[in-house]
Amino acid sequence: MTDLVPKAVATTMDTSPVLAVRGLSKSFGRSASADMLAPGCHDISFDLMPGETIGIVGESGSGKTTLGRCIAGLLPSDVGVIEFDGRDIATMTREERRDFRRRVQIVFQNPDNALNPRMTVGSFVAEALKNYGLGSKDERRGRLLELAALVGLRDDHIDRFPHQLSGGQKQRVSIMRALACEPNIIVLDEPTSALDVSVQAQVLRTLRDIQERRSVSFVLISHDVGVVRYMCRRLMVMYLGRVVETGSTEAVVAEPAHPYTRALVDAVPRLRRTHERDFRLLSDTATRRTAAAACQLRLRCPLATDACAMTPPMRQVGDRHDAACWSVQPSRLGDSQS
Amino acid sequence: MAVDDRPIFVVKGLCVEARSDGRPLNLVDDFNISLSKGEVLGLVGETGAGKSLSMRASVGLLPPAIRAASGSIYFGGRSCSAGETRALRSHLGRGICLLLQNGRSALNPFMRVHAQIDRILSYRGHARQDRRSAIDALLESVGLPSQEIGTRYPHELSGGQAQRVAMTIALASEPLVLIADEPTTALDVTTERDVIQLLLSLCRQRDMSLVLITHNLGLVANNCDRVAIMHAGHVVEIGPTASIFKAPQHPYTLSLLQAIPDVDEPRELIPLTGSSPRPGAFGDGCRFATRCPHVDTDCKARVPDLIAVGDRLVRCVIPKRSKVGTVPGMKREHQAKWPAQSATP
């Protein structure tokens, strides 16, 4: 039976992280002017435990997809270290890297672009198995059936082409291929934003069921706070390339500390009027970008002061809940814990 | 909000068809809405439900292979048949305006913002010397600094800015009815909230009616007076937003509400099985029958009529069976009883 809140990994404390990201930066092109931050992500650090789901939320241009692609090894980082299973992915040997590629998979937002229109579901997924020499031909067929059942596809879907499937089914095929090689981590880059709500619900439930059965870790990138709240125990909020708040999803959503998170949580349209707070950023009609050395939210933040000309450090605001904002009073929890 | 009861825009019995292999393929069937002055109507449903298509048909903007087979549209004091494309289009820019999903695609990429608005005003017969101040006033009403934004080209605008400029252009012709087709889907949530609230305050100021087409039920819950829920070309439930969200009567409405992850109180999602039937595969009965957890033989025999249930219309036989209670409401006491594994037994 599934719980109403995402399950914590029972042994979070005494296992080592499957993925450790330290000071990761990746930027593209040049910024508008020399002292501004280039698009991309900057100075990101976090750990991912086996079987855990971490959510990454932020608006478009916040660098969440860049971060996801760096983790999946699709983009080399400029600065910083990504350690998978204790090994730095930048310095892996050929064999190690091949193993890494098998064990870290990615599911893209739009399944239409991710599937090969000329290959049936079966041959498309079996290609991944073949590539890593997993199983004989007969074993592979059995494996395909097993995988199809796992992601909620019927046996007869295996012989279909992508154009014969609906959007939700295509996304299941993407997930199926990602799962084929028994990965340790799947990066889910907006896996449901191209889907309708009823289909989104099916896919999200499937993902949670899969996680309970196989202890795979997810990095869930989304702009939908509701989706992240449903899927993740822990959450990172990004704004223009930097992480501005991190903590348990429950705490971040209930007690957001950073002004961007507050505005984000308050702006989510709700079905029932359960939410009274209404914190707003200044209108988006002015320029957003500010100097790289400053807090990136500065020009839109109603709480901005002179102090915001310097990038605020991450400070603890609650139990394992950190935010990067000068306006936030750091909690004393940190003293008592350390 | 006081709403003048006389409808100013009415769509009656609209039926939209495509031709495929010489046979008509029904896309939207028996579509009826009426809009009072200053009213905000939400039109929600999943991809392919016919939300955009029905509204496009009512202003004569259907794509070439698709036509309105029957129906009539009342606007501006007279009625005309849904097939009279030319007459319907004549309302556009003169009383009815469309606002589309991507603001930037509604703008001419080669013209500065000022010039685009100026052109609309000149069509409307504003004298040259008055236009500049009118442009400034319009841009200001959508919260854009005219000096800074006016000289820009569309590619120099952010998504939210482009949508606001598109809104300015729609407002420049002082419409009575604004049809906004997913106006905020391409925007970030914080911007979305600002743009929607701006849109609503403009409607209120100008006593303008709004049809808000969206798949985001949260937006509708907070902003619309009435809501129409569409599934596979049919309106399945229509009525006051608050009461529909409190106690949905159609199983599809309920399942949509149950499929949305709640931000404040996470609960298990209850997904529908399968997906909406495609045009051509609707069958003779209720188009929701293949996905409905309460389906029985009545449902497959013929399309249920829209029947009045309390303050709304519902296209379902369940309320008539007077067992409304068997459709679980969104009340909290029901939540704990929901089966954990699957919604369908």
Q: What is the pLDDT of residues A55-98, one digit of tens each?
A: 999 988 889 999 999 999 999 999 999 999 999 999 999 999 99
How many domains does one find in chain A? 2
Distances (CA, A) of A201 to A96, A206, A231: 36, 9, 11
Q: Are residues A213 and A318 in the same domain?
A: no
Q: Based on the number of CB atoms within 10 Å of its own CB, is B76 exposed (0-12), middle (13-18) or buried (19 or more)?
A: middle
Contact A265 B263 (CB under 8 A): yes
Question: A212 and A284: one domain?
Answer: no
Residue B260, number of CB atoms within 10 A of its CB: 22
For residue A125, the domain's CATH number is 3.40.50.300
Residues A300 and A325 in one domain: yes
Q: Is residue A318 part of a domain?
A: yes
Residue range A173-184: mean pLDDT, rounded = 93
What per-residue confidence (pLDDT) applies to B340? Answer: 33
What is the helix (H) or strand (E) element at residue B236, kind and residue range?
strand B234-240
- Judged by CB atoms closer than 8 Å, whether chains meet at B275 and A198 is answered as yes
User: Could you tell me what percentage of chain B is helix, strand and coil, using 3-state DSSP and rounding each to the nearest 5?
Assistant: 35, 25, 40
Is residue A69, in this structure, part of any structural domain at all? yes
How would you label A118-134 residue by residue, b for 16+ Cβ within 10 Å and e otherwise? Answer: eebbbebbbebbeeeeb
- Residues A21 and A35: their CA atoms lie apart, in Å, by 26
A123 and A260 co-located in one domain: no
Per-residue pLDDT tens, chain B, 345 aa: give them.
Answer: 444 578 999 999 999 999 877 788 999 999 999 999 999 999 999 888 999 999 999 999 998 889 999 999 999 888 999 999 999 999 988 899 999 888 888 899 999 999 999 999 998 888 999 999 999 999 988 888 888 889 999 998 888 889 999 999 998 888 999 999 999 888 888 888 988 999 999 999 999 999 999 989 999 998 999 999 999 999 999 999 999 999 899 999 999 999 999 888 888 898 887 778 888 888 888 999 888 888 888 788 889 989 998 899 999 987 755 444 433 444 433 333 333 333 332
B255 within 8 A of A198, measured Cβ to Cβ: yes
Q: Which of residues 75-114 of B touch A (CB under 8 A)?
A: none
State the pLDDT at residue B110.
95
Q: Which of A195, A176, A196 is nearest to A186 (CA)?
A: A176
Interface test mutation site (partner A, options B102, B113, B189, max chain A beta carbons within 10 A): B189
Tokens of A245: 């708040």
Candidates A87, A105, A107; CA nearest to A96 is A87
* B260/A5 Cβ within 8 A: no
Q: Which long-range contacts (CB under 8 A, 24 or more apart) does B340-343 make?
A: B340/A1, B340/A2, B340/B268, B341/A1, B341/A2, B343/B255, B343/B258, B343/B270, B343/B271, B343/B272, B343/B273, B343/B293
Contact residues on chain B for A280, CB-CB shorter than 8 A = 190, 193-194
Distance from CA of B134 to the nearest CA of A (A): 20
DSSP per position, B298-310:
HHHHSPPP-EEET
A202 contacts chain B (CB < 8 A): yes
CB B183 within 8 A of CB B195: yes
Same domain, A168 and A299: no
Instruction: Based on the fold, state whether residues A219 and A325 are members of the same structural domain.
Output: no
Domain boundaries, chain B: 106-172, 238-335
* pLDDT at position A221 over 70: yes
- Domain containing A85 equals 19-29+37-239
One domain, residues A211 and A141: yes
Give the distance from residue A81's alpha carbon to the nearest chain B alpha carbon, in angstroms: 30
CB atoms near residue A6 (< 10 Å): 21
HSE (CB half, 13 Å, CA atoms) of B187? 30
Q: Do B218 and A201 touch (CB under 8 A)?
A: no
SS (H, E, C) chain A: CCCCCCCCCCCCCCCCCCEEEEEEEEECCCCCCCCECCCEEEEEEEEECCCCEEEEECCCCCCHHHHHHHHCCCCCCCEEEEEECCEEHHHCCHHHHHHHHHHEEEECCCHHHHCCCCCCHHHHHHHHHHHCCCCCHHHHHHHHHHHHHHHCCCHHHHHCCHHHCCHHHHHHHHHHHHHHCCCCEEEEECCCCCCCHHHHHHHHHHHHHHHHHCCCEEEEEECCHHHHHHHCCEEEEEECCEEEEEEEHHHHHHCCCCHHHHHHHHHCCCCCCCCCCCCCCCCCCCCCCCECCCCCCHHHCCCCCHHHHCCCCCEEEECCEEECCCCCCCCCHHHHHC
- Asked if the C-beta of A267 comes within 8 angstroms of chain B's C-beta atoms, the answer is yes
For position A285, what pLDDT does the model report? Answer: 58
Among the partner-chain residues B47, B144, B259, the one whose CB lies closest to the CB of A201 is B259
Whether A4 shows a pLDDT value over 90: the answer reads no
Instruction: Assess A109–B contact: CB distance below 8 Å, yes or no.
Output: no
- pLDDT value at A1 more than 50: no
Q: Report the half-sphere exposure of A108 (CA within 13 A, side-chain side).
A: 9
Q: Where among A206, A239, A272 does a domain terminate?
A: A239
Q: Does residue A61 form part of some domain?
A: yes
- Find the range with the poorest average confidence among A26-35, A127-136, A206-215, B19-28: A26-35
Nearest-neighbour CA in chain A from B83: distance (Å): 31
Query: Beta B177-181 vs A315-318: how paired, if at all?
Result: unpaired
Contact B8, B79 (CB under 8 A): no
Chain B residues in contact with A7 by the CB 8 A cut-off are none
Q: Please indicate whether, in this complex, the C-beta atoms of A200 and B259 are within 8 angstroms of each other.
A: yes
User: In terms of Cα–Cα distance, which of B195, B198, B119 is closest to B159?
Assistant: B195
| Residue A165 in domain | yes
Residue A289: left if φ>0, alpha if ψ -120 to 50, beta else—which one?
beta
pLDDT tens-place string over residues A273-299: 778 888 998 876 566 677 888 899 988
Interchain CB distance below 8 Å, A275 and B46: no
- Residue A132 located in a structural domain: yes
Q: Are B266 and A230 in contact (CB under 8 A)?
A: yes
Which tokens go with B304?
């249920």
Stated length of chain A: 338
B chain contacts of residue A199, beta-carbon cutoff 8 Å: 46, 271, 275
CB within 8 Å: B263 and A225:
yes
Mean pLDDT of A119-137: 91
Verify that A194 and A270 share a domain, yes or no. Answer: no
Quickly state the pLDDT bin for A215 (edges 50, 70, 90). Answer: confident
- Spatial CA neighbour of B302 closest among B20, B29, B12, B50: B29
SS3 at position B84? coil
Structure tokens, B57: 């048909």
Residues of B in contact with A253 (CB under 8 A): 263-264
Residues A195 and A278 grouped into a single domain: no
Question: Same structural domain for residues A139 and A52?
Answer: yes
Do A268 and B189 count as a contact with CB atoms less than 8 A apart?
A: yes
Same domain, A110 and A181: yes
Confirm or reject contact between A86 and chain B (CB < 8 A).
Answer: no
Cα–Cα distances in angstroms (integers) from residue B160 to residues A61, A285, B203, in the given order: 14, 8, 18
B74 at the A interface (CB within 8 A)?
no
Paired tokens of B96: 């009815």
Claim to verify: residue A229 and residue A100 sit in the same structural domain: yes
> Inter-chain contact B272–A226, Cβ cutoff 8 Å?
no
Structure tokens at A278: 């209404």
Q: Which two tokens stand for residue B275?
A: 């997906």
Q: A163 and chain B: CB distance < 8 Å anywhere? A: no
Contact B269 A205 (CB under 8 A): yes
Contact residues for B308 (Cβ-Cβ < 8 A; gap 6+):
none
